[in-house]
């Protein structure tokens, strides 16, 4: 698998919840688990769980599933990579309903917006608060 699942999981554990989403770090405990980290297969998943600090019985959970497929290009142009990797990203909520799916080379980048919005909205609802306005 070309995608580094371990660093992607670390990204969702520490780097994503900053800036306008820093309030999530302050009010929620964030747990990230990755599967197939050392496997060389073409699929892996990352599960993100959040719960209000001190309230382990309330949990928001969702899973990011990543599937890669690599195809060879018959006649690559000079300087072009002879292989093209497509990524399919499916973002599922706790009941395994699809929230977002994308099939593209940049599917992971596209999905980050949906993932952060999902957790921000669900956390705000759980904490009975409004989502803080984004800074401009």
pLDDT tens digits, one per residue of 48-82: 999 998 888 889 999 999 988 888 888 888 888 88
Q: Give pairs for 84-87: CB < 8 Å, separation 24+.
A: 85/2, 87/3
Span 120-136, average pLDDT: 77
**Is residue 37 pLDDT above 70, yes or no?**
no
- Which pTM value belongs to this model? 0.81
pLDDT of residue 90: 92
Question: How buried is 111 (Cβ within 10 angstroms: 0-12 exposed, 13-18 middle, 19+ buried)?
Answer: buried
Query: CA-based angle 45:47:49, to the nearest 5?
Result: 175
**Is residue 41 pLDDT above 80, yes or no?**
no
């Amino acid at each position: 698998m070309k995608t580094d699942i371990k660093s992607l999981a670390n990204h969702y554990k520490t780097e994503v919840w900053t800036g306008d989403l820093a309030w999530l770090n302050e009010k929620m405990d964030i747990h990230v688990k990755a599967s197939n980290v050392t496997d060389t297969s073409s699929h892996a998943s990352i599960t993100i769980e959040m719960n209000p600090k001190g309230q382990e019985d309330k949990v928001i959970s969702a899973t990011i599933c990543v599937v890669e497929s690599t195809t060879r290009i018959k006649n690559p142009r000079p300087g072009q990579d002879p292989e093209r990797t497509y990524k399919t990203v499916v973002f599922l909520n706790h009941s395994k309903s699809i929230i977002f799916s994308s099939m593209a080379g940049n599917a992971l980048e596209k999905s980050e917006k949906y993932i952060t919005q999902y957790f921000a909205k669900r956390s705000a609802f759980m904490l009975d608060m409004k989502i803080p306005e984004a800074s401009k």
